[in-house]
Structure 1
Amino acid sequence: MNVLISDGRITEITSKKITSYDLKINGFGKFLTPGLMDSHAHVSSIPGMGFGVEPVAIKNPKLAQAYFEQQPRSFLFYGVTQILDPNPGVSFDYFTSAPQHPDYFRCEVLTSKNTFPYVEKADDLSRSMFTYLIDESAEATAENSVERLIGKIADSGASCIKLYFEDGYGNANQWATLSTNTLKRIKLAAKKYNLLIVAHANALDMQQLALVAGVDVIAHGMWNWGQYNREQNIPKEISNTLNKMINDEVAYMPTQRVIAGLGEVMDPTIGNSPEFTSITPKPLIDWYKTTEAQWFKEELRAGFDRMPDQSISDAFLYGRIRKGNKVIQYLKSADHPILLASDFPGSPSFANQPGLTTYQEMKAMVTAGLSLEEVLAAATINNAKQFKIENDYGTVEVGKVANLLLLKTNPLDSIESWNRIETIILHGDPIARESLVVNK
């Protein structure tokens, strides 16, 4: 077929010859797909440093600048033409002001001073990331009430609200969560303003709480099974929870790369691959080898009582990921749609890098048992439908935004085809993939 693009949109798809155009891209023998959407990526966060307001980033402003300049190009290199950022932080303007960047959508975080993630922050600068801090006792007319703050989020142009269902890392439970009454008020106000609710929840009890609250999307694999952690198969309580997710049509973001990034950061060779070096500025790669950059690895070592690095890595890569894969397989058996969402970078680990993490998340989906067709849907139309932008994105159709990829090989034959992109087309403008490489 021949595809005609005008003013950044697809205007014609035909088997007939098109004779009037300004530029021709020869796709003979190649494969045209929609651009990919990563519906969970934090563009303010610098792998190995933090959210750009953390002390490590402040001490290294030139490294941070080099990273922010390259980051949108790295996403495009791996075919990501749309991003949803569920916690924009304070530095997302670096991303949106770049000459070339994926189309950017965002949620805004609604939390309180008594709950995660605000309660975990130790300094005023980090706390400044949270603009919408609710007072749970405030009446609807008060400035910091649920209702007023959600109205402000809607007015800001956000696509969704992000809530954190997190009472403690792993099996810990030292933090409070939002009250049942507050969650009911949030649901009612979100519905009034037509805002989706995306829930951070990675443990059985927290995902159960999120489902009761009526969220629209659950982000993260169910990695912590509570008292069932040692079970080999999915126990009844977990399958019942997943059945509620299916019946309530709550979308699911596995974000398996969160766990992989925690395990892989313990590998001293993680930054040596061509995939890594092609999209990561060399000064940053050099910094990752310094003593200063090992701070997060030291935190992991302390958290695991100084276990050998390989044992720490195995705990993530072969323990928690296995649980996440079982959940994906269960949802797949019910034909429940999965969303491509990497949660880049997912932690202060520098093992995850922009764009590359999205591609690795797609590979993880195949490892978990999804077909190549299901991965394609997760990366394109599923995300577009879930976030109500399917009129503009998700398929190659007349009228849609011309965010497209030209691949050298068929992505329905091999997942590696997504690493064989020849041209990225962003709003109708072709970008040669090789032009996005940072270290030539």
Structure 2
Amino acid sequence: MKIAKRILKFIIIVIGILLISIVIMVFIEVQNTKYLKVKKNAFANNDSYLITNVNIIPMTQDTILVDKMVYIKDGIIQKIADRIEIKGIEILNAKNKYLTPGLIDMHVHVWDRYELGLYLSNGVTAIRNLWGMPMHLRIKEDVNNDEIISPLFFTTGPKLTGPEFIGDDNLQLTNPNEAREKVVSYKKRGYDFIKTYYGLTEDIFDTVIEQAAISNIDIVAHPSQKVSYSYHFNQQVKSIEHAEEIIQQPLNYRLDTLKLNEVINSFEKSKHSAFSPTLTGYNNIYQMLIDDEILESEKLQFMNPLIKKTDSKAQFERWDNTKLKDSTIVKTIKKQHDFHLKIVKKLHEVGTPIICGTDAGIGVTIPGFSIHQELAFYKEAGLSNYEVLRTATVNASKTHSIMNNMGTIEVGKVANLIVTDNNPLLNLSALQNPTTVFIKGRKLNRDSLDNFEEKARNRKNLIASAVRYLENLIFEK
């Protein structure tokens, strides 16, 4: 009896120490990301500026407005003109530089707040997170309350799947009533969108669509293989994700151009959904196959340590083992990637809005940096530089009504802007390492943006990330 009590006491002590350690680790991470905290009242009008002598790429049309002034007040663009006389305001002389709307990544997976700085350092001023968890509601609240410096933050709820088990990280719905309750709950709790995923059966999918319309909440669809691909062409579904899903589902894993044309025709007729190709996420399979040292590469230093230790490693080992069994897999993956470029080109030609999404945050797809590779792929697919820029600005902003206040440089739009030394309409690489980023009118210079990158490099927050993920598994099931 005494031995049992001693063991129980020991277990309680160990659990207590473990809980205290976890609290300490989470507290340390909060302290380490204080560089993102908004310093209110640090100086007056820190979201009001006058930008002078700048060449504007408004994205309302394929043009450049040469040598203009832009007046920003309280984070909103107030006036654009040749001359603006305003006293008592900080001036940014952008002579010979270019002003572009901030970029929008429409398909990301956020794991910690360090990543918010990585997006900003790459000119990404709005993100759509498509793997919702409780921690994302806290980030959204802090962003909306102007507590932290961050891209504008939008998030789906947890991924909705059907009755069959797909993974611990997915919400397994077993009947339509349960689906209805989840849609109502996610809207009430503050999630911006519903994400549908693998395994949704027709009756459950119907209920999700019906309740989403009633609750006035948009759906983002990772296609379900339990319904036809055309089933996703519904006015409540605002975007369909992943080029590879076209090949895996309606094309039945064949690079069939004739069958692809049928899918393209369906998109053209639907007029409802935008398309987010996430070419970078898929191409990174190819990168893992040709680079045996990719997990130790410089860029992986910016990946969340929990994801790097679990998902990045697991994906690399999966494809490395596949290569050992099948030496043709490298050519197969590359050939499919090239076919994805054809999909993007054909969808663009029939007027389907292409919206830039990278699948950043999982595998080896790095938050922030990945958008430049994604845009380069659209260029390779045959889009002009202006058309490429539209995917990450105006096209993205038109996808959801709650994002309509960004994406172009016009009076009344939120001042999410990037300043570059060179003209991105001539060379898309000009978007990399912007000299200045404005987020809701707040000016971030290159030194601040470089600091965001340095803070995120090799960060030590594995335990804190695991705690947040555990929270999701406990409270969202």
What TM-score range do you get, normalising by the shorter chain? 0.7 to 0.9
Q: 1:297 and 2:316 equivalent? A: yes
Identify the match of residue 18 of structure 1 among 85, 110, 135: 85
The match for 2:187 is 154
CA displacement at 1:435 relative to structure 2: 2.5
Question: Deviation at 1:423?
Answer: 0.4
Partner of 1:136: 175
Measure, in 2, the Cα distance between the counterparts of 1:26 and 1:363. Answer: 30
1:223 aligned residue: 247
Question: Aligned residue for 1:260?
Answer: 283
Given that 1:422 and 1:432 are in contact with CA atoms closer than 8 Å, whether structure 2 keeps it comes out as: yes
For residues 159 and 305 of structure 2, what CA distance do their matches in structure 1 show? 32
1:421 CA displacement: 1.2
For 1:379 and 1:260, the matched residues in 2 are separated by 19
The yes-or-no answer on 1:315 pairing with 2:328 is no
Contact 2:437 2:443 in 1 (8 A): yes
Choose between structure 1 and 2: higher helix proportion: 2
Question: In structure 1, how many angstroms separate the alpha carbons of the residues matched to 2:192 and 2:349?
Answer: 30
Change (3 A) 1:359 1:202: farther
Partner of 2:155: 106
- Note the alpha carbon deviations across 1:257-309, whole angstroms, 9 max, x for none: 121122212314547887x37x827x969x97x9997443222233455345x
Change (3 A) 1:273 1:362: farther
Structure 1 runs not aligned, ≥5 long:
45-67, 139-143, 167-176
* 2: CA distance, partners of 1:227 / 1:391: 34
Are the counterparts in 2 of residues 204 and 225 from structure 1 also a CA contact under 8 Å? no
One-letter identity of the residue aligned with 1:187: I
**What amino acid does structure 1 have at the position aligned with 2:316?**
K
Kept in 1: contact 2:247–2:254 (CA 8 A): no
Letter in 1 for 2:166: E
TM-score, normalising length: structure 1: 0.76
2:266 equivalent to 1:244: yes
1:179 aligned partner = 201
3-state SS of paired residue (1:223): helix
Aligned to 1:378: 391
Distance 1:13 1:212 in 2: 39
Q: 2:124 aligns with which of 80, 83, 88?
A: 80
Q: Contact 1:71–1:95 at 8 Å: present in 2 too?
A: no
Q: 1:398 aligns with which of 403, 408, 411?
A: 411
Partner of 1:47: none
Where does residue 23 of structure 2 map in the other structure? none
CA deviation profile, 1:111-155 (whole Å, cap 9, x unmatched): 25624xxx222xxxx44x64xx544153xxxxx3x3332222222
For 1:271 and 1:25, the matched residues in 2 are separated by: 41
> How many Å separate the matches in 1 of 2:205 and 2:118?
37
Match of 1:411, SS? coil
Greater shift, 374-383 or 102-111, is seen at 102-111
Distance 2:282 2:210 in 1: 33
Residue 381 of structure 2: aligned partner? 368
Unaligned runs of 5+ in 2: 1-67, 456-477
Partner Cα separation in structure 1 for residue 292 and residue 323 of structure 2: 18
Q: Using the alignment, how far apart are the partners of 1:204 and 1:370 within structure 2? A: 33
| Aligned AA (1:423) | T
State whether residues 436 and 443 of structure 2, in contact with CA within 8 Å, keep that contact through their aligned partners in structure 1.
Answer: yes
Q: Which amino acid aligns with 1:339?
A: I
Task: Compute the TM-score of the two structures, normalised by the length of structure 2.
Answer: 0.71
CA 1:31–1:301 in structure 2 vs 1: closer, same or farther (change >3 Å)? same
CA contact (8 A) 1:223 1:323 kept: no
Q: 1:73 corresponds to which letter in structure 2?
A: G
CA distance in 1, matches of 2:429, 2:223: 30
| Aligned match of 2:108 | 41
Deviation at 1:240, TM superposition (A): 1.9
CA distance in 1, matches of 2:175, 2:221: 18
Between 88-97 and 363-372, report the one with greater CA deviation. Answer: 88-97
The RMSD of aligned alpha carbons is 3.2
Q: CA 1:295 to 1:153, structure 2 compared with 1: closer, same or farther past 3 Å?
A: closer
SS at structure 1 position matched to 2:422: coil
**Partner of residue 389, structure 1:** 402
1:199 is matched with which residue?
A: 221
Structure 2 contact 200–224 (Cα < 8 Å) conserved: no
| Correspondence 1:33-72 to 2 at 5 A | 33-44=100-111, 68-72=112-116
Aligned amino acid, residue 36 of structure 1: L
Q: Aligned partner of 2:184: which letter?
A: G
* Counterpart-to-counterpart distance in 1, 2:148 and 2:212: 33
Write out per-residue CA displacement over residues 175-215 of structure 1, whole angstroms, 9 at most, x where no aligned residue.
xx333222222222111222221111398985334237963
CA contact (8 A) 2:213 2:236 kept: no
Q: For the Cα contact (< 8 Å) 2:267–2:352, is it kept in 1?
A: no
Over the matched positions of the two proteins, sequence identity in percent amounts to 24
After superposition, give the CA deviation of every residue in 1:392-436 in whole Å (9 maximum; x if it has no partner): 211111122111101111111111111141101111111113422
Matched, 1:333 2:349: yes
Secondary structure of 1:2's aligned partner = strand
CA 204–34 in structure 1, closer or farther in 2 if over 3 Å, else same: farther
In the other structure, the counterpart of 2:24 is none
Q: Structure 1: how far apart are the matches of 2:397 and 2:250? A: 33
CA 1:307–1:112: 2 relative to 1, 3 Å: closer
Distance in 2 between residues matched to 1:439 and 1:224, nearest whole Å: 39
